[in-house]
């Protein structure tokens, strides 16, 4: 039993780890962090091995949650740096707002979780809508509507960002 479990886990790792790590790499823009996230997702899968019916979906949802946690940490660090910088310049001149960052990754990060998760799974993990529907527990029509709403929000944010940079 243990031998077959280990073999199945090893085969799953060999089949899915490179793609999962690559997907994470595109989201976090750092090889080391991407590998840490992918490895942690596999570690969490291993801990729940006997209770997980869909390992691939579990891995991607877990990795998406870890990526979101990573983004939150980066945002906290950015805010802290902005605060420190603002305090250092308080006597020199009036603080001006940073120009909007049109980075798609940051825009996706800013989406509400309800819209962000389907975007990450469908566009970044190349999962079909049916699979996203199963993994999120939403009807396919709802997933399609969420994808549409997310695209519209991203389009509006990009337009505003581009208008400010011209």
pLDDT tens for the chain, 166 residues long, are 677 878 888 899 999 999 999 999 999 989 999 999 999 999 999 999 889 989 999 999 999 999 999 998 888 777 767 666 665 565 454 444 445 455 777 888 888 889 988 988 888 888 889 988 888 889 999 999 999 999 998 888 888 777 765 5
Question: What pTM value is reported for the model?
Answer: 0.57
DSSP 8-state class, residue 49: G
Cite the DSSP H helix spans in 48-122: 55-89, 104-110, 113-119
User: How many helices (H) and strands (E) would you count in the chain?
Assistant: 7, 0
What is the pLDDT, as a whole number, of residue 43? 94
Which residues, at least 6 apart from 116, have a Cβ–Cβ distance to it below 8 Å? 68, 108, 109, 150
C-alpha distance across the termini of the chain, in Å: 63
Please give the pLDDT value at position 165: 58
129 in Cβ contact with 144 (< 8 Å): yes
């Amino acid at each position: 039993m243990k031998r077959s479990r280990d073999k199945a886990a090893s085969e799953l790792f060999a089949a899915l780890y490179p793609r999962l790590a690559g997907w994470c790499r595109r989201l976090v823009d750092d090889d080391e962090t991407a590998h840490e996230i992918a490895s942690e997702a596999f570690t969490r899968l291993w801990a729940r091995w006997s209770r997980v019916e869909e390992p691939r979906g579990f891995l991607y949802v877990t990795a998406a949650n870890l990526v979101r946690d990573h983004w939150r940490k980066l945002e906290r660090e950015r805010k802290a740096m902005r605060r420190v910088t603002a305090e250092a310049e308080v006597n020199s001149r009036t603080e001006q707002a940073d120009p909007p960052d049109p980075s798609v990754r940051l825009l996706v990060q800013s989406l509400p979780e309800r819209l962000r998760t389907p975007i990450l799974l469908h566009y970044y993990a190349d999962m079909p809508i049916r699979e996203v529907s199963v993994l999120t527990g939403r009807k396919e029509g709802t997933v399609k509507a969420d994808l549409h709403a997310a695209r519209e929000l991203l389009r509006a944010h990009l337009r505003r960002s581009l208008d400010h940079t011209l």
